[in-house]
């Protein structure tokens, strides 16, 4: 298990909280009409991406699904510019042309943000191919939703990654529902982490509500991949508190189910650990809470005040 | 009873073969199933088995002899006690002769080097660096890939059978030997997966050349081509480009029927973010492929299987390129304009010859070379001169490249037109298998001729 410093604990807590506050604010802006289209929130899943973050090298690459706001924040990207993309403004990471589902930051090795279920899996595998081709020691972390695990190209990518021993870590975020269809209604065989077995890809299941389990698994898997052993799969059992997207009332599940998960809230777990280990006092935690709220409020203000893209931008960036 | 062994057709497009090696000698007794020879086809070197039994009475070609037509007698087996009259020039079966006539354009392209139809356009002849030697389209493509791979380590090739098999159509022959398996990668039959992988590699800064065994199989991967490769530069606000070439044969080959004969030129040309190229000669294949590999955007490079054997001079300068987006005026003329691309250039040239001979019409032929971005300026200038336009292409008629050209011309040169624009396309049906129906499906020289007459008001 990776040894965590006091700073690491604070970092985890801060990032998870930042994601939570960001998503709540995004929901508010959506309700006010500042954000349009599809908007998929990450609330409840914060321990996954922040846990993986704790094991990451800054030159490693990341690619993910359309539920990507949290991944960008965890990558250290500026919430102001993420929110500005959600509001479709020129200061957004994609200059207002991508929106919530299609955000990128090449300089931070963040390769999206992909709107097509499963498409990011071969792409992440190709980014890993490049790390290997260039002789770099870096790996590509490729996030996959449970819904994509029934998608053909995912298995084609698994085959290629294993065949060519590519440095790719597949992280399945199993939040129990592909849109409104629960995993047991979509997948024949519920152990998604075993779906690389036929290709010889090792896999394991992890409690995604507990960040310490995520860190332990991601650290171990990351090392395995970085040492040139080929791909690895971790299936993180997590839960989204909100619907699939903003327009989803989530009628397909019970309030009781939701409440059960909320009892093991990932942020509360970290907070309790910090207090227990006396890494910070209650008032210090309160200060983080206040500062985070403030930062996200500012991000929202920035995102609603940034200009819409100029009309001439319609025709730019089609070709380089 | 003696039996003639004929040069076999070992691929749908093979018209002649090279006798690489005899595995039998005169006097040997062969049984059905015995290997008798190694024949090099347009695609590969293959072993040929005996179908009949007997003693080898004669071998009519030496090892190493090249360009032996399909159905030529290459050996005779039979009873050694029976007297056999050897014919000097063995006959070609009548049925096959007919088949060849029906495929006459394709055969001409493959065989007739000194036919006027296949002379390079005046512009090419002005090229001072033109090679004395003529090479095939497949050599031109391979040479260009090799040259670019030598220049830039980031260029690599992947696809089905590109490495050890040496390319399903031998376009990647020798690349594995020169560049190794790190840069020439055989993939599983997994288009969706390896296309996505190549797109990811291009996002990350490599410059993949992805060969589709044929573009028919690109449909398996079309989401990655359009949603990922073509759109990500835009969706990322200009941050992430995708320098990739998707190449391979497009359109009809010879009797491979509906699922293996589709023309995708207008499909891909519809997509902003993609560039689409369709070469017609070894010369422009070389110049255009170099531009495609150097381009920072995704490029669809539509080759034609029947043209792979077409020979012509090339420019061997390793920096020679033809700009993307520029059409070539293949032949100047004053009476009507024929806009075409890829294999239909050659049928158009034949039609132009007949138009001159039979109707004294001087057609201008524009070879588009690039379909997107379209060189509308060259088309409009020509129409303003000739006042008549036909478009000739292999694709289905609905929403074809010709449809878009007709739209542009009526919009921007309406007052110059003396007659409606006429499109020549393939039939609006799936490609049939049967030779006779295939010929009806594809645009033929007569179809072009009829369209030209119609826009010229000639009955």
CATH 3.30.310.10 is held by the domain B2-82: no
Q: What is the pLDDT of residue B120?
A: 63
Kindly list the structural domains of chain A, giving each domain's residue range(s) and its CATH number in brackets, ordered by start: 6-305 (3.40.50.970)
Complete DSSP assignment for B403-420: HHHHHHHHHHSGGG-SS-
The domain defined by B127-315 folds into Rossmann fold (3.40.50)
Q: Is residue B128 pLDDT above 70, yes or no?
A: yes
Nearest residue on chain B to A97, alpha-carbon basis: B235
CB-based contacts of B97: which residues, under 8 Å, 6+ apart?
Answer: none
Cα torsion through A206, A105, A69, A129, rounded to 10: -30
Mean pLDDT, chain A, rounded, equals 95
Q: Shortest CA distance to B448 belongs to which of B428, B424, B429, B432?
A: B424
**What are the phi and psi torsion angles at A316 (to 5°)?**
-95, 165
Domains B2-82 and B326-455 belong to one CATH topology: no
Specify whether the CB–CB gap between B126 and B298 falls below 8 A.
Answer: no
Query: Which has the minimum average pLDDT: B15-19, B65-69, B91-95?
Result: B91-95
What's the whole-number mean pLDDT along residues B440-454?
A: 97
CATH architecture label of B326-455: 3-Layer(aba) Sandwich (3.40)
User: Catalytic one among B110, B260, B303, B438?
Assistant: B260
Q: C-alpha angle B167/B173/B175, rounded to 5°?
A: 105
Specify whether the CB–CB gap between B256 and B12 falls below 8 A.
Answer: yes
Q: Where is B386: in which H helix or E strand?
A: helix B376-386
> How confident is the model over B363-381, as pLDDT tens digits?
999 999 999 999 999 999 9
- Closest CB to A104 among B197, B201, B239: B239
In chain B, what percentage of residues exceed pLDDT 70? 91
**What are the phi and psi torsion angles at B276 (to 5°)?**
-130, 125
Q: Which residues of B touch A (CB under 8 A)?
A: 156, 182, 185, 187-188, 190, 192-206, 223-224, 227-228, 232-241, 272-273, 275, 296-297
Interchain contact, A163 vs B188, CB within 8 Å: yes
> How confident is the model over B285-325, as pLDDT tens digits?
999 999 999 999 999 999 999 999 999 999 999 999 999 99
pTM to 2 decimal places: 0.90
Query: Strand A140-145 and strand B29-30: pairing?
Result: unpaired
Specify whether the CB–CB gap between A123 and A157 falls below 8 A.
Answer: no
**Disruptive mutation site among B157, B222, B239 for chain A (greatest number of A CBs within 10 Å):** B239
Q: What is the pLDDT of residue A26?
A: 95
> How confident is the model over B159-200, as pLDDT tens digits?
999 999 999 999 999 999 999 999 999 999 999 999 999 999
Q: Is residue B97 pLDDT above 70, yes or no?
A: no
> How confident is the model over B6-44, as pLDDT tens digits?
898 888 778 889 999 999 999 999 988 889 999 988 777
**Which residues in chain B are contacts of A95 at CB distance < 8 A?**
237-238
Q: Domain ranges in chain B?
A: 2-82, 127-315, 326-455
User: Catalytic one among B4, B191, B211, B330?
Assistant: B191
User: Does B260 qualify as catalytic in the annotation?
Assistant: yes
């Amino acid at each position: 298990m990776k040894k965590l410093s006091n700073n690491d604990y604070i970092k985890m807590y801060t990032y998870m909280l930042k994601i939570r506050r960001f998503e709540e604010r995004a929901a508010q802006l959506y309700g006010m009409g500042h954000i349009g289209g599809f908007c998929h929130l990450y609330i409840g899943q914060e321990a996954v991406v922040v846990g993986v973050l704790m094991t990451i090298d800054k030159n490693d690459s990341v690619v993910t699904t359309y539920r990507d706001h949290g991944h960008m924040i965890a990558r250290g990207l500026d919430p102001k510019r993420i929110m500005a993309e959600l509001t479709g403004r020129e200061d957004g990471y994609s200059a207002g042309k991508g929106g919530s589902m299609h955000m990128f930051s090449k300089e931070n090795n963040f390769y999206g943000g992909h709107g097509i279920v499963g498409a990011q899996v071969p792409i992440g595998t190709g980014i890993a191919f490049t790390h290997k081709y260039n002789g770099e020691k870096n790996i590509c972390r490729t996030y996959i939703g449970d819904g994509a695990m029934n998608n053909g190209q995912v298995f084609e990518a698994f085959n290629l990654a294993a065949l060519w021993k590519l440095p790719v870590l597949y992280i399945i975020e199993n939040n129990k529902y592909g849109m409104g269809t629960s995993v047991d209604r979509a997948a024949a065989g519920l152990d998604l982490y075993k779906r690389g077995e036929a290709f010889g890809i090792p896999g394991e299941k992890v409690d995604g509500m507990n960040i310490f389990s995520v860190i332990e698994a991601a650290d171990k898997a990351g090392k395995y991949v970085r040492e040139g052993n080929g791909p690895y799969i971790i299936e993180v059992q997590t839960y989204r508190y909100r619907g699939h997207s903003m327009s989803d009332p989530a009628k397909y599940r019970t309030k009781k189910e939701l409440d059960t998960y909320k009892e093991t809230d990932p942020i509360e777990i970290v907070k309790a650990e910090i207090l227990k280990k006396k890494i910070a006092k209650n008032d210090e935690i309160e200060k983080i809470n206040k500062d985070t709220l403030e930062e996200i409020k500012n991000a929202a203000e920035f995102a609603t005040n940034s200009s819409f893209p100029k009309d001439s931008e319609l025709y730019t960036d089609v070709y380089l | 009873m003696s039996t003639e062994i004929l040069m076999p057709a070992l691929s749908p497009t093979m018209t002649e073969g090279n006798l690489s090696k005899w595995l039998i000698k005169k006097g040997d007794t062969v049984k059905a199933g015995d290997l008798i020879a190694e024949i090099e086809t347009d695609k590969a070197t293959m072993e040929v088995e005996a179908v009949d039994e007997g003693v080898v009475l004669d071998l009519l070609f030496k090892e190493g002899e090249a360009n032996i037509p399909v159905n030529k007698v290459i050996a005779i087996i039979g009873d050694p006690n029976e007297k056999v009259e050897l014919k000097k020039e063995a006959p070609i079966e009548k049925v096959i002769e007919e088949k060849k006539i029906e495929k006459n354009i394709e055969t001409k392209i493959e065989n007739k080097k000194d036919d006027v139809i296949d002379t390079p356009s005046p512009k090419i002849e002005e090229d001072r660096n033109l090679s004395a030697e003529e090479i095939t389209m497949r050599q031109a493509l391979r040479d260009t890939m090799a040259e670019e791979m030598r220049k830039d380590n980031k260029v690599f090739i992947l696809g089905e059978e590109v490495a050890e098999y040496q390319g399903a159509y031998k376009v990647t022959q020798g690349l594995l030997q020169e560049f190794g398996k790190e840069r020439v990668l055989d993939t599983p039959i997994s288009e969706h997966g390896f296309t996505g992988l190549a797109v990811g590699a291009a996002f990350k800064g490599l410059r993949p050349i992805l060969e589709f065994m044929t573009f028919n199989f690109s449909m398996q991967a079309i989401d990655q081509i359009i949603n990922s490769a073509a759109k990500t530069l835009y969706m990322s606000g200009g941050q992430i480009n995708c320098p990739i070439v998707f190449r391979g044969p497009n359109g009809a080959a010879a009797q491979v029927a509906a699922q293996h004969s589709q023309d995708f030129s207008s499909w891909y040309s519809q997509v902003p973010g993609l560039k689409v190229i369709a070469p017609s000669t070894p010369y422009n294949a070389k110049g255009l492929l170099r531009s495609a590999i150097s381009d920072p955007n995704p490029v669809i490079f539509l080759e034609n299987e029947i043209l792979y054997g077409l020979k012509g001079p090339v420019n061997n300068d390793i920096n020679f390129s033809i700009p993307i987006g520029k059409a070539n005026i293949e032949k100047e003329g004053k009476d009507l304009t024929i806009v075409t691309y890829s294999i239909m250039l050659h049928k158009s040239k034949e039609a132009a010859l007949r138009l001159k001979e039979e109707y004294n019409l001087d057609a201008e032929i524009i070879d588009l070379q690039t379909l997107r971005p379209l060189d509308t300026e060259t088309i409009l200038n020509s129409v303003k001169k000739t006042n008549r336009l036909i478009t000739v292409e292999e694709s289905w008629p609905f929403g074809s490249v010709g449809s878009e050209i007709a739209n542009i011309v009526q919009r921007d040169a309406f007052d110059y037109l003396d007659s409606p624009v006429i499109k020549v396309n393939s039939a609006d049906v799936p490609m049939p298998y049967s030779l006779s129906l295939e010929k009806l499906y594809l645009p033929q020289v007569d179809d072009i001729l009829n369209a030209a007459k119609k826009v010229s008001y000639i009955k």
